[in-house]
Structure 1
């Protein structure tokens, strides 16, 4: 909880809220796939963080304050994704064990479980933007263009992040792991960057 906020600081934060909240809410809504309650919470958490760090944030230019809020919102969503992914791997592991009935199934499922756990560890060590791109593409099944629009980066940058993600996974898991590449678009049909 932020300590008591002075009246002057409260006015400055209220001015920032008036200037940024609408765009931040729109961004937060895209991050949480339109969940109104979750996007409201995300905006509240970002401004709560701003109030907590106001002594550092107040001296920045308005554009830097805005960018700071957007980064806080994105990082909070990424943290939630990572926490959810760790839980999901554990649930998948238990589901695989429960479904395994024959000895050959047990071996295949054990190898699959270990591979998934290794993949999760590699993903958790990735840079936050690369993790976001990999998660949105492979887990959420978003297209390169959708990810680029959400993150405000070029589609070619998304493809580079995906390539490096595949390379990191291949290095950790060995050459036997089949990682599919982005489909190559025919000439003249490239996604706009």
Structure 2
């Protein structure tokens, strides 16, 4: 389904079954829209794609609009919307292969390995702008959990779960729903929910990665130095910023590299086109990220960084610029730094 604006929800709903008798169309649209960000975050965790998540939420909104006159209020509007969103996601996941990162599919390659042919978009977990999935305000502890739960590594771990287990774990562990609430949403029993949660936790424990560190002053300085070194293409300066086991991945290609030596060898060789790049800061997956433009001003990649122990441990470079740059609100040609 094509993504639509709020006004388009109203038009489509008016053409369908109509709104609830106790809510004017504009009021109902506003009530539904209030849940868009958190629902998008939920669907992104379920599906691993920002584009699929937005489509799933749009379908949720349309279904809610059309059925709102039959909503009896036995559950909260929020719970009802999550029930619809869960059903939409489970339908989308029927028969589909799980999305992954390059490192989830194969062993690291060497810098001399041919890059190969790009794989279809449905193969990969994609990045998502923080503003689409994370609340701008709220309890700091809850916001920290939310940021951690949209990290690429966590999304990749979720994709290893069966779809219903995935829903149970997100609702229980990320959104703090009770087992009874989740059972009601899924039309299941509390015992079944607890069993699914136990199995999901065991699966995630086997593939867990260390939690991300908070973006404090030292990390901000690390990022400043990274931008400076990358834009000057000073590989000696970049060497000091990379962890010895740092990784480089470049979806839609399956090839990925591990180790500072191969990382830098790639930049000196096949990645030499990065010389003269401009980096524009964005926020993705709860982590620091950049829109990378080539020296000629054309978009090259969305970079999402992993940082730990004062070093850059991973660079995920997503090359589908035609779709991703508009998603992040970036122009398709570099116009220079924004005025201070």
TM bucket by the smaller chain? 0.3 to 0.5
More helix by share: 1
TM-score when scaled to structure 2? 0.27
TM-score when scaled to structure 1? 0.43
More strand by share: 2
